[in-house]
Amino acid sequence: MGNSFICPQCGRPLAGVSLHFSPTHWLCAECSGEPEDASRSRLNDRVRFDFPDAGYESDQADARKYLHKGRIYRVANVDVYDDITKLTLFGNKDVQFNSVLFKRLQ
């Protein structure tokens, strides 16, 4: 699924990103103007679990169970839906986390 999209603005490969909506148009973190938005992550980007109170209660419960606030994780997969982006992290590959829980590090 991943690796087949590029940023339509700069042409950068959106490695690890799967888009689950149409049209399949998605800007990279740099072109989006919001480089710290974890929903713009790509494969191997670093994100920090900074916002444990963000998202839905179920998102927060998963995060509390598997992650530690302030710790840095590396992105394995990014699944972008209409209204939510889910991140898969190395070391926790069976769980998808809401991107709003994280800050993308540059």
Determine which residue in the list 14, 17, 19, 28 makes contact with Zn ion, applying CB under 5 A: 28
Determine which residue in the list 3, 4, 9, 44 makes contact with Zn ion, applying CB under 5 A: 9
Stretch that binds Zn ion, among 15-23, 29-37, 48-56, 95-103 (CB under 5 A): 29-37
Stretch that binds Zn ion, among 26-34, 39-47, 81-89, 97-105 (CB under 5 A): 26-34
* Other beta carbons within 10 Å of 56: 11
Q: Kindly list the distances between the CA atom of residue 91 and the CA atoms of 73, 87, 97, in Å, as whole numbers in the listed order.
A: 8, 12, 13
Pseudo-torsion of CA 33, 39, 44, 45, nearest 10°?
40
Chain contacts with Zn ion (rule: CB under 5 A): 7, 9-10, 12, 28, 31
